Structure 1
Amino acid sequence: MSQFAVVTTETSRDEIVKNLVEVTELPAAIVKRFVVKFNVRENDCWEWRAASNDPKYGGLPYGRFYFEGKFWVAHRWLYEQAVGVVPGNLVLDHFKVPSGDCIGARCVNPNHLEPVTNRENILRGSGRGAQNAKKTHCAKGHKYDRTDKRGFRICTKCAREYAKNYRAGAK
């Protein structure tokens, strides 16, 4: 991925615009319209301060940017303009979030983004799917030692106990 010039809280908006115009080859007016919508934070995040998706409808508060007749997710728009199109089977991951170096959904800094599979993005997160994937033992403390035909991890001891109790109840 191309790295942008170091942008700090001391970097002027004009310097940011100049850098992004060089990288994206977009007209300065469009870049300026984008740049005024974020603030640079101490941790190098570019915090989106304009319109965003409403998280109460189940999503994350990703910034929105209107360009050429449609609303774009702001971080994806800038990434695609500056770095290139994200392949259809990949999503953009705010990969610095787990280390505490990025604010996540509201950050539009392309240097904080990485194209990954949806599965990798989920596993890097802190949601229920990521938490369960990190487990190595079942609720009774047995090590997961097999995978069933659906791909779920199981422990042999609990599976045998369940089958034994099921057969006993069927009689």
Structure 2
Amino acid sequence: MKPLPLLPRLWARTEVDPATGCYRWTGGTQSGKGGDDYGVISYQGRTRPVHVAAYEELTGRPVPDGHQVDHVAERGCRFRDCWNVAHLEAVPPRVNVLRGTSPAALNAQKTHCPQGHEYIPENTRVADGSRVCRTCDRERAAKLYRAKREAAGKTVGPPMAERTHCANGHAYTPENTQMDRGKRRCRICNNEKSRRSHQRRREALRTTTN
């Protein structure tokens, strides 16, 4: 027996929420990662999420590779069992996460670590799928290092973040400071290091040509 077209099957198990305009599925559901229930339906020979099946059927195009069908809150969607195509959009997974309200989504939306350091590329590393602040890493390592030296009765200098001069005595002024992976670098020392490196290469070149 040939199955009914998708749209009549959807409407047969749908209630329209008057406040939001959401087409709420009353048939079978399955729990998503965030604990929300998504409607499911047999479509094209397999069980599919209702909102995905509706999106593909009513837009006439498949979900692009590497994309997910998002329930867009800005369009008035409030329910994960909604299949109103006007509320749906195919987006990359990260966009979908950033739009959400789950703990993972809220964490991904953060621009600074708990200590107030900005999550910029040079100050961020990824461990086990989570962002880690490099500045906090260094401060923890420095604190541990200082504690060990103090326990051994050794002299301990000021923390790097509190130092006003580099190891060679050059002041950390704005003009003489550059950041590298969240660390301060002395421009004078860097320039001198580059000059010596160029000089060694020139001397090596003269040696090989003589």
TM interval, shorter chain, is 0.5 to 0.7
Say whether 1:160 aligns with 2:135.
no
Q: CA RMSD in A?
A: 2.8
**Which SS does the other structure have where 1:79 is aligned?**
helix
Structure with the bigger RCO (C-alpha within 8 Å, sep 6+) is: 1
Does the Cα contact within 8 Å between 1:138 and 1:155 map onto a contact in 2?
no
How many residue pairs align between the two structures?
141
Match of 1:21 in 2: none
TM-aligned CA distance change 1:29 to 1:132, over 3 Å: closer
Larger Rg: 2
| C-alpha distance in 1 between matches for 2:113 and 2:7 | 51
- TM norm structure 1: 0.68
Q: More displaced, 128-137 or 36-45? A: 128-137
Match of 2:65 in 1: 88
Match of 2:24 in 1: 47
| C-alpha distance in 1 between matches for 2:144 and 2:58 | 59
Structure 1 portions without partners, runs of 5+: 1-26
| C-alpha distance in 2 between matches for 1:102 and 1:170 | 56
TM-aligned CA distance change 1:54 to 1:94, over 3 Å: closer
Does the Cα contact within 8 Å between 2:124 and 2:134 map onto a contact in 1?
no
Does the Cα contact within 8 Å between 2:71 and 2:77 map onto a contact in 1?
yes
**Which SS does the other structure have where 1:162 is aligned?**
helix
Match of 1:109 in 2: 84
| Percent pairwise identity | 31
TM-aligned CA distance change 1:78 to 1:144, over 3 Å: closer
Normalized per residue, which structure has more helix?
Answer: 2
AA at the equivalent of 1:125: G
| C-alpha distance in 2 between matches for 1:133 and 1:68 | 35
| C-alpha distance in 2 between matches for 1:54 and 1:62 | 6
1:3-152 equivalence runs, <5 A: 30-42=6-18, 43-54=20-31, 59-83=35-59, 84-96=61-73, 99=74, 101-144=76-119, 146-150=122-126, 152=131
| C-alpha distance in 1 between matches for 2:145 and 2:16 | 63
| C-alpha distance in 2 between matches for 1:130 and 1:54 | 17
Does the Cα contact within 8 Å between 2:34 and 2:102 map onto a contact in 1?
no
Does the Cα contact within 8 Å between 1:143 and 1:155 map onto a contact in 2?
no
